[in-house]
Amino acid sequence: MIVIKVFGLDPYLLRDISEDLTSKLASLYEISEDEIDFYGSEGLIVHKGVEQNTWNIFIEVVAPKKVSVLEEDAFTLLEHYFKNVSINIKCVFSYYSMDNYHLTLNENYPRFMKEDENNEDGHYEYEYDEEYDYEEEGEDVEETHHHEHHHYHNLDLENENDIFLGNAFEDFEDKLKGKK
Residue 108: count of CB within 10 angstroms of its CB: 8
Q: Are 7 and 20 in a shared domain? A: yes
11-26 b/e (C-beta count within 10 Å ≥ 16 → b)? eeebeebbeebbebbb
Q: Are 40 and 8 in contact (CB under 8 A)?
A: no
Q: In terms of residue numbers, what domain contains 55?
A: 2-100
**Does residue 84 sit in the same domain as residue 67?**
yes
Note if the pTM is more than 0.75. Answer: no
Is residue 90 located within the same domain as residue 117?
no
Number of domains the chain is built from: 2
Lowest mean pLDDT among 42-46, 146-150, 156-160: 146-150
Residue-wise pLDDT tens digits, 67-119: 999 999 999 999 999 999 999 999 999 999 877 777 777 887 877 777 765 44
pLDDT tens digits, one per residue of 10-26: 999 999 999 999 999 99
**CA-CA distance, 138 to 59, in Å (whole number)?**
49
Share of the chain above pLDDT 70, in %: 71
- CATH number for the domain spanning 76: value is 3.30.429.10
- Give the end of a domain, one of 100, 118, 133: 100
Same domain, 89 and 115: no
